[in-house]
Amino acid sequence: MHIRTLGQGLKVSAIGLGAMGMSQSYGPNPGSRDEMITVLRSAVDEGVTFFDTAEVYGPHVNEELVGEALEPIRDRVVIATKFGWDIQDGRMVGLNSRPEQIRRVAEASLKRLRTEAIDLFYQHRVDPGVPIEDVAGTVGELIAEGKVKHFGLSEASADTIRRAHAAHPVTAVQSEYSLWTRDPEAEVLPTLAELGIGFVPFSPLGKGFLTGTVDASTAFTEGDIRNRVPRFEAENLAANQKLVDHVKGLAEAKGATPGQLALAWLLAQQPWIVPIPGTRRTERIRENAGATQVALSADERADLDSLAQRIGVRGGRYNAEHMTYVNR
């Protein structure tokens, strides 16, 4: 596995692992907790050193899972987690990035992750009720105290990133980015390039669509987040099939899988981009890691760069309510 450097010199594997789906959002987990611990540890054997979780996943249980799995090999991995939601009685009831809340979350996450320091601490969503300078300052204090090593943002606008970075250096920004979600390209990616901040795309495989295993006939189980995503409505999936068919064709010609091609395209965009695909299976981790070996020619990159615009993408990446939380 190749190593990449995010902002502030944070070195991680070129492909990370998003652990959220092991606890929520994609329907019932077919594996047991022990099986998920085995999967997480096997990722390290495949060269993955970068793991992503959050207090809200579960809530709390995903951090506990990641903490238990990685405790024996803590010195070999980088763990990112997140703060910023107000959780009451096990439910998200809004945003909360007040300084005292950030500190509470940090202390609780340290215990659940079984670690002395959080490697990368993201604000999960920008809280309009708290100046970003106060957020950055609080995380900066935690860094000075040795409880956190790096500061990150998720789904933040270019303006917010600039303001945060001026208050305390930002190591990474996390947002959705893939062959069919290109939103960060207009303002966020140029800002990160200018400021020397790394970028961590989540849902880099389009919540499964870009693997070629999802189509208009797919029935999602109860609790699967894709039931609430407009892009996954049957008529939109049918319209978007042309995009994934094109990816399949190119992947087959190169002896790769569609998912590997989608990840290879992301890796080719910038050397400071590190996607974090999620999975519950070791064989998928191995497949995703193989994307680092897929080389794209200039013509292939140009073809994929224009794919979404050329073919078009039907349906929003979130519903209207969720979209109010992004690009603030």
Secondary structure (H, E, C), the chain: CCEEECHHHCEEECCCEECHHHCCCECCCCCCHHHHHHHHHHHHHCCCCEEECCCCCCCCHHHHHHHHHHHHHHHHCEEEEEECEEEECCEEEEECCCHHHHHHHHHHHHHHCCCCCECEEEECCCCCCCCHHHHHHHHHHHHHCCCECCEEEECCCHHHHHHHHHHCCCCEEEEECECCECHHHCCHHHHHHHHCCEEEEECCCHHHHHHCCCCCCCCCCCCEHHHHCHHHCHHHHHHHHHHHHHHHHHHHHHCCCHHHHHHHHHHHHCCCECCCCECCCHHHHHHHHHHHHCCCCHHHHHHHHCHHHHHCCCCCCCCHHHHCCCCC
Catalytic pick among 26, 57, 177, 325: 57
Mind listing the pLDDT tens digit for each residue in 201-251? 999 999 999 999 999 899 999 889 999 999 999 999 999 999 999 999 999
| Contact present, 236 and 45 (Cβ < 8 Å) | no
Length of the chain counted residue by residue? 328
Check residue 302 and give its pLDDT: 97
**What is the set of domains in the chain, with CATH numbers?**
3-211+270-293 (3.20.20.100)
Mind listing the pLDDT tens digit for each residue in 243-297? 999 999 999 999 999 999 999 999 999 999 999 999 999 999 999 999 999 999 9
Residue 30 has pLDDT above 90, yes or no: no
Tokens describing residue 94: 């809004």
Predicted TM-score of the model (pTM):
0.97
The verdict on whether 122 is a catalytic residue reads no
Of residues 156, 189, 180, the one with CA closest to residue 269? 189
| Contact present, 165 and 197 (Cβ < 8 Å) | yes
Crossing angle (nearest 10°) for helices 258-269 and 282-289: 50
Residue 158 has pLDDT above 90, yes or no: yes
What are the φ/ψ torsions at residue 43 (nearest 5 degrees)?
Answer: -60, -40
Band of the pLDDT at 29, cuts 50, 70, 90? confident
Band of the pLDDT at 317, cuts 50, 70, 90? very high
